[in-house]
Structure 1
Amino acid sequence: MPSDNDNKRQGGPEEKEVDDSRENWEHPLSELRAQQRLIQAPNQEDPGYIRQKANNKLWVRERLTSLLDNGSFLEVGSVTGKPNYDEETGVLKSFTPANSVTGFGKVDGRKVFITADDFSVRGGHADGGIQMKAPYGEILARKMRVPLIRLLDGSSGGGSVATYLTLGATYIPGLAGLGKSMDAMAVVPVVSALLGPVVGLAAAKAVLGHFSVMVKGLSQLFAAGPPVVKQATFEDLSKEVLGGWEIHAQNGTVDNVASSEVDAFQQIRRFLSYLPSSIFSLPPVHATTDLPSRREEDLIAIIPRRRARPYDVRKLIRLIVDTNGTPDDLNSSSFFEIGYTWGRCIVTGFARLSGNPIGVLTSDCMFNGGAIDALGSQKTARFATLCDHFGLPILNLVDNPGFAIGSVAERTATIRHGAAALSALYNATVPIYTVVIRRAFGVAGGVFADPDEGMGTRVAWPSGDWGSLPLEGGIEAAYKRQLDAAESEEAREKIMADLLEKFESVRSPLKTAHKFGVEEIIDPRDTRPLVCEWATHVYEHLLPQLSIVRQNKYGLDAKPSSGRGYRL
């Protein structure tokens, strides 16, 4: 007769009576799904959620839906938090999630990692978080070599005195994962959207990245909020007065400003579209219908013959770079400006030439004549470092009257910051195509017009005007004694006019070209065909070699110089 064990092996009567839910993993999976459903659906009666909506802010998961490609979010740490069970029945009643949502997703079909603060849970403070969840995401982004996106709202798990009571002690503060942030910056693009009050740890994260955008009227940034400031400095300030967008968009703490959360997400998507997923790959090339041979007639007259007159440098850029429409159509141009509201003497941004991503660097003569001040120098250094780190070649359009001068320039350490800009451009390893479109004077002119001391590609327009000093001011300095000895003001003006006429004969850029002081003078209408050909060559023949150099230098660890591979 068959034994009991034989019945079990053969599917006998005893096996049929076994509860299937205890023989497989359906029961724990159903518990997992129940917790995920509670976490992923908003509790509309929760005070934190109500406050979020009352402030016209998106809930954290609405933000993920708005930013990422449809259905692409794959959460990491989906049930991190504190479940609340009924003591008598053991039934799950509620779930308090960690105030950080993390996971992989896609932006325009490309994989990214995202960390998003949930301000509805304890305002993003540490006592509502789970230690190391957000830093773990930054480690994962670096290891997987994908861009890191931070949605900042609150303190991002930063300190709260309420934690002292939970611990039963105070503690010496540590880096709180900021070292991981710096490690990530060395390898992958790191971008941040400021979507509410961003304070303490979150404020540090906002500036430890390659691009940041804050929302008008919705976000503020400060090292410490108004209550702490009032206790320390006796200043009674609102959040907006202390750290609103008008402050930080003008001092360079953040790069761009958005009109809404959705606008901020669109800017992030566009910023990332120009960059590689990591320093080990090439920037993505996009197909374009804009012909590289396009010659714009407007370029022949865009620089005024009268040297003191201004012009629209952004229109000049749009006439040269790829576009899907007319240069006056801002939405169709490939030019994406970075830092419009600060360091305004300098214009920086990304664009494409024949579909190839490039950085664009130039001056804005509409702001202080284009003279480079302290903030403009900082902006230049930051942008040149960004392009060099991710392998974007730079189109350098030069109209530089020199460093800003005067008491304000000296008090703000313009020359020190200018030296940092000089260093960033000189040490850049990416190819730079320089077009001297008008002025190049003094040290600053030399920095921009010859960033790598004669080893790069450089041309000039017939509107070029250069020297150690502008003629007008230079004559005043060189002939001061003769001018001061004039018998009258009329006589002084006559001497000045005669000197200017005398020097005008040597001012022509053709005279410089005769001595090979400038390599080539071109028709401005030929600029786009020339720079498109250059960009194509760079992407086909030069950038792949730079990528190999990086692979050999950093190897497979993806942690160059222990996280010190990016200069802030």
Structure 2
Amino acid sequence: MAISKALADELERRRAVALAGGGEKKAEARHAEARMTARERLEALFSPGTFQEFGLHARHNTRHFGMESREIPGDGVITGTGFVDGRPVAAFSQDFTVSGGSLGEIHAKKICHTLDHAGKAGVPIIGFNDSGGARIQEGVGALSAYGQVFYRNVQLSGVVPQISVIAGPCAGGAAYSPALTDFTIMTREHAQMFICGPEVIRAVTGQATSMDEIGSAEVQASVAGNIHFIAEDDAHAVALVHRLLSFLPSNNMMDPPHRIEPELAIADDPVLDDLVPEDPKAPFDCRKVIERLADEGDFLEVMAEFAANIVIGFGRIGGIVVGFVANQPMVKAGALDIDASDKAARFVRFCNIFNIPLVTLVDVPGFLPGVHEERRGIIRHGAKMLFSYASSTVPKITVIMRKAYGGAYIAMCSQDMGADRVLAWPSAEIAVMGAEGAVNILYRKELSEAEDKRAKAKELAEEYRAEFASPYLSAGMLFVSDVIQPRQTRSAIALALRGLMSKRETRPPKKHGNIPL
């Protein structure tokens, strides 16, 4: 049966209203601030012509609230699926130009439908958050709607990658949905993320503060540790999503997008021999080592601004996607503190969930000493690293570059935490504690009798390193698989990874372990 012109015209009218969102003036206001509209963000995310929208004709439900019915195009959120670099991806984008992007029952139902689809289809989910919060006039219905979104975030956790982009306000309960996802990207300008704003804090506590102090991208990235990347603008945020997806599988049943060549190129890299100073106390940038190990130096650092004493991120070695975890000697001498432990532990768990092998680079003097750390629970937080590594079944390769002392040696994926290969450089020192501390304990008498105590301490420290901390001692006891020259590291890891791609490891049946949160 042919569709009448009246019906066709009505369809086009309705489509035009929905596609217009908040209207031309509001869209122009966004462009004046160098910001994209909600629909433009999705257009930038997906390959042209591949976006299929869910719920274009969704309508705001006002029947319970005695309000005059008004049209809210798409109920303030755009949802659907499309393709990113040839892979199917689901996404939603809140539209601040429509009722402030506020969340109500229908708005949330569209998001939930998209999340459900992502789970069933086994595809990543991307969420653009730009909302004034819960729709007050919908009362407890709006709160229930948030709960339904949170519930699905949790159900999808560990099933498909979830990426949130904070591109505008994300306040109160709304902030918990991004917090439940795997990665959060926040634009430097125009985005805010907080539970209680400055006015509420001032009213309740009497403390005067500003949005920059509690809700800015800089604070969330460097102080709170709630976000993983800062984007300069919407376009940069979309580019970061694309880059992140290039390292991730679509779901937990698939392998990451490896780029394995039939023939593995084996070659030494002499540059690595000179990157680490001979002085064990001299700092160096571990990222330079990572860049030499990663194919073409391609390394995507995650949470670069937070807990900078440990570096995490994605790269490839011999075409195989890996997650890097490395101590950073340039910050706190690479010691593990509470924030570094949390940062590394969650990243390790993410990699394990999505079948990404782990490469751990070690130069750690220990857990950070101090009253502040002890009182805040360094034991509990440090245990998260032990738990995360020990429960991971992906291929795990550890390279001990220099110091590996005490409990931090174990926490950085020693053989006892399930490392499949532990490689050490000749400069490695593996011991209960550093040479200077050990000398003060073990050789007090010799030091007290020496005329030149400083020279004697140095002499004894060298003896201690040779006798008790040598990598050959650990290799002789089979705690280290091999001692290699730094120049051989990339080839050694690439070969080990290639041989471990068929690794299978089962654990006792259980719901899940009880990580020390």
TM over 0.5: yes
Which whole-Å CA distance do the structure 2 matches of 1:517 and 1:192 have between them? 41
**Which whole-Å deviations, capped at 9, do the CAs of 1:286-315 have from their partners, x for residues lacking one?**
367996323211111211111111122111
Indicate whether 1:162 and 2:141 are aligned. Answer: no
| Structure 2 partner of 1:530 | 492
Q: Which of residues 359, 366, 369 in structure 2 aligns to 1:395?
A: 359
**Which whole-Å deviations, capped at 9, do the CAs of 1:183-220 have from their partners, x for residues lacking one?**
11231000011101211233101111111111112211
Which whole-Å CA distance do the structure 2 matches of 1:228 and 1:141 have between them? 36
CA distance 1:201–1:137, change in 2 (3 Å): farther
| Structure 1 partner of 2:120 | 143
Which whole-Å CA distance do the structure 1 matches of 2:98 and 2:514 have between them? 35
Which whole-Å CA distance do the structure 2 matches of 1:261 and 1:300 have between them? 41
Which whole-Å CA distance do the structure 2 matches of 1:69 and 1:358 have between them? 26
Please state whether the residue corresponding to 2:73 is helix, strand or coil: strand
| Structure 1 partner of 2:15 | 36
| Structure 2 partner of 1:101 | 78
In structure 1, the gaps of 5 or more residues are 1-19, 84-92, 324-332, 554-559
Which whole-Å CA distance do the structure 1 matches of 2:314 and 2:266 have between them? 21
| Structure 1 partner of 2:159 | 187
Which whole-Å CA distance do the structure 1 matches of 2:117 and 2:474 have between them? 54
| Structure 1 partner of 2:245 | 272
Q: Which of residues 255, 262, 265 in structure 1 aligns to 2:235?
A: 262
How far did residue 505 of structure 1 move?
3.6
Which whole-Å CA distance do the structure 2 matches of 1:274 and 1:517 have between them? 31
Which whole-Å CA distance do the structure 2 matches of 1:536 and 1:122 have between them? 53
Please state whether the residue corresponding to 1:213 is helix, strand or coil: strand
Is the 1:255–1:338 contact (alpha carbons within 8 Å) kept by the matching residues of 2?
A: yes
Is the 1:74–1:104 contact (alpha carbons within 8 Å) kept by the matching residues of 2?
A: yes
How far did residue 31 of structure 1 move?
2.2
Which whole-Å CA distance do the structure 2 matches of 1:186 and 1:289 have between them? 31
CA distance 1:341–1:42, change in 2 (3 Å): same
| Structure 2 partner of 1:336 | 300
Kindly provide the amino acid, as one letter, of the partner of residue 281 in structure 1: M
**Which whole-Å deviations, capped at 9, do the CAs of 1:98-151 have from their partners, x for residues lacking one?**
111100011111000001111112222235953412122111111111000011
Indicate whether 1:413 and 2:392 are aligned. Answer: no
Q: Which of residues 35, 40, 53 in structure 2 aligns to 1:75?
A: 53
Kindly provide the amino acid, as one letter, of the partner of residue 472 in structure 2: L
Which whole-Å CA distance do the structure 1 matches of 2:513 and 2:236 have between them? 32
Which whole-Å CA distance do the structure 1 matches of 2:196 and 2:490 have between them? 48
CA distance 1:238–1:119, change in 2 (3 Å): farther
Indicate whether 1:62 and 2:20 are aligned. Answer: no
Which whole-Å CA distance do the structure 2 matches of 1:173 and 1:106 have between them? 28
Q: Which of residues 426, 446, 451 in structure 2 aligns to 1:462?
A: 426
**Which whole-Å deviations, capped at 9, do the CAs of 1:442-473 have from their partners, x for residues lacking one?**
00112215154466211111111110000112
CA distance 1:469–1:65, change in 2 (3 Å): same
Kindly provide the amino acid, as one letter, of the partner of residue 255 in structure 1: H
Please state whether the residue corresponding to 2:168 is helix, strand or coil: strand
Alignment of 1:37-436 (within 5 A): 37-41=16-20, 44-46=23-25, 48-49=26-27, 51-81=29-59, 96-127=73-104, 130-155=107-132, 158-164=133-139, 175-250=147-222, 251-286=224-259, 292-323=265-296, 333-436=297-400
CA distance 1:444–1:69, change in 2 (3 Å): same
How far did residue 437 of structure 1 move?
1.2
Which whole-Å CA distance do the structure 2 matches of 1:300 and 1:120 have between them? 56
How far did residue 284 of structure 1 move?
1.4
CA distance 1:289–1:244, change in 2 (3 Å): farther
**Comparing 363-372 with 129-138, which one deviates more in the overlay?**
129-138
Which whole-Å CA distance do the structure 2 matches of 1:517 and 1:531 have between them? 17
Indicate whether 1:499 and 2:460 are aligned. Answer: yes
Is the 1:433–1:456 contact (alpha carbons within 8 Å) kept by the matching residues of 2?
A: yes
Please state whether the residue corresponding to 1:75 is helix, strand or coil: strand
Is the 1:291–1:354 contact (alpha carbons within 8 Å) kept by the matching residues of 2?
A: yes
**Which whole-Å deviations, capped at 9, do the CAs of 1:536-563 have from their partners, x for residues lacking one?**
2333x23xx57xx89xx9xxxxxx96x9
Q: Which of residues 481, 487, 491 in structure 2 aligns to 1:519?
A: 481
Which whole-Å CA distance do the structure 1 matches of 2:250 and 2:400 have between them? 33
Kindly provide the amino acid, as one letter, of the partner of residue 190 in structure 1: Q
CA distance 1:36–1:322, change in 2 (3 Å): same
Which whole-Å CA distance do the structure 2 matches of 1:378 and 1:33 have between them? 52
| Structure 1 partner of 2:405 | 441
Which whole-Å CA distance do the structure 2 matches of 1:207 and 1:419 have between them? 22
CA distance 1:416–1:50, change in 2 (3 Å): same
How far did residue 481 of structure 1 move?
6.7
Which whole-Å CA distance do the structure 2 matches of 1:409 and 1:299 have between them? 34
Is the 1:38–1:95 contact (alpha carbons within 8 Å) kept by the matching residues of 2?
A: no
Kindly provide the amino acid, as one letter, of the partner of residue 12 in structure 2: R
Which whole-Å CA distance do the structure 1 matches of 2:513 and 2:193 have between them? 25
Kindly provide the amino acid, as one letter, of the partner of residue 200 in structure 1: G
Is the 1:292–1:353 contact (alpha carbons within 8 Å) kept by the matching residues of 2?
A: no
Is the 1:372–1:403 contact (alpha carbons within 8 Å) kept by the matching residues of 2?
A: yes
Which whole-Å CA distance do the structure 2 matches of 1:133 and 1:173 have between them? 10
Is the 2:396–2:418 contact (alpha carbons within 8 Å) kept by the matching residues of 1?
A: no
**Which whole-Å deviations, capped at 9, do the CAs of 1:10-62 have from their partners, x for residues lacking one?**
xxxxxxxxxx76xx47654442232112221355455x545534543211111
**Which whole-Å deviations, capped at 9, do the CAs of 1:138-169 have from their partners, x for residues lacking one?**
111111110000111125xx4243334xx9x9
**Which whole-Å deviations, capped at 9, do the CAs of 1:244-272 have from their partners, x for residues lacking one?**
11211012111111122111111111111
**Which whole-Å deviations, capped at 9, do the CAs of 1:312-369 have from their partners, x for residues lacking one?**
211111111111xxxxxxxxx3211111111111111111122221111111000000
Give aligned-pair identity as a percent: 29
Is the 1:275–1:284 contact (alpha carbons within 8 Å) kept by the matching residues of 2?
A: yes
Is the 2:435–2:462 contact (alpha carbons within 8 Å) kept by the matching residues of 1?
A: no
| Structure 2 partner of 1:88 | none
| Equivalent residue pairs, number | 506
Is the 2:390–2:418 contact (alpha carbons within 8 Å) kept by the matching residues of 1?
A: no
The structure with the largest alpha-carbon Rg is 1
Please state whether the residue corresponding to 2:407 is helix, strand or coil: helix
**Comparing 258-267 with 374-383, which one deviates more in the overlay?**
258-267
Is the 1:311–1:366 contact (alpha carbons within 8 Å) kept by the matching residues of 2?
A: yes
What is the TM-score with the length of structure 1 in the denominator?
Answer: 0.81
**Comparing 406-415 with 305-314, which one deviates more in the overlay?**
406-415
Please state whether the residue corresponding to 1:154 is helix, strand or coil: coil
Kindly provide the amino acid, as one letter, of the partner of residue 258 in structure 2: V
